Amino acid sequence: MTEQPEAVWRRPDPALLRLRRRLATGIVSLPLALASLWLLVRQGPAAAAAALALAVVLSGLLQVAVQRRYAAWGYLEREDDLLVRRGVLVRRTSVVPYGRMQYVDVTAGPLARRYGLATVTLHTAAAATDASVPGLREDEAARLRDRLAALGEARQAGV
């Protein structure tokens, strides 16, 4: 069942990948490059070259990680429940029956809002439920939220 064909999984919007790539560049690559420049001035070309090489390698790895993490996130609306999968190192798949949803959160931080994205989070009566999908376009997030709320209400089962 965790072996659903790849095609049916829905992905977050590609804008999320762009957002995360740019974040990675801004937070990691750029400061490292600047550090290399500073080393060039202070310690000489050898140290700077080493630092630059390190920066390039780290940035490359980070970009790969960001890409893989984005590709691993998926959600699937089935007849009775919602599937959410995520994670690269630790892979997680959550199954939340519609009738168990207590409420649905749609949140968007300032960066996500600039890209027109939002995160949809499901809550049940259990604290351990961790089904959330980031990077949905705002209209898709609204559609998902409304559909989940309607289904949840229709199939509501008492705790």
> 3 vs 6, which CB is nearer to other proteins?
3
Task: Using DSSP, state whether 86 is helix, strand or coil.
Answer: strand
Amino acid at 85: R
Residue 6 in contact with other proteins, rule: CB under 8 A: no
Which residue's CB is nearer to other proteins, number 99 or number 116?
A: 99
Q: Contact between 125 and other proteins (CB under 8 A)?
A: yes
Contact region with other proteins (CB under 8 A), list: 6-14, 15-23, 35-43, 124-132: 124-132
| Six-digit token string for 33 | 């490059």
Q: Quick one: which of 61, 66, 73 has its CA closest to 11?
A: 73
Beta bridge partners of 85: 74, 93
The DSSP call for residue 29 is I
Q: Of the candidates 9, 121, 140, which has an alpha carbon nearest to the alpha carbon of residue 73?
A: 9
Q: Nearer to other proteins by C-beta: 49 or 71?
A: 71
Q: How far is it, in rounded angstroms, from Cα 71 to Cα 147?
A: 24
Please report, as residue ranges, which positions from 64 to 123 form the binding site for other proteins (by CB under 8 A). Answer: 80-81, 89-97, 99-100, 102
Q: Does the footprint of other proteins cover residue 131 (CB under 8 A)? A: yes
Residue appearing with tokens 């080493």: 50
Q: Compare residues 25 and 94 and give the one whose CB is closer to other proteins.
A: 94
Smallest separation, CB 121 to other proteins (Å): 13
* Of 88, 90, 62, 85, residue with least CA distance to 73: 85
Q: How far is the CB of 122 from other proteins (least distance, A)?
A: 8
CB 49 → other proteins: shortest distance, Å?
33
Where does this chain bind other proteins (CB under 8 A)?
1-3, 80-81, 89-97, 99-100, 102, 124-131, 157-159
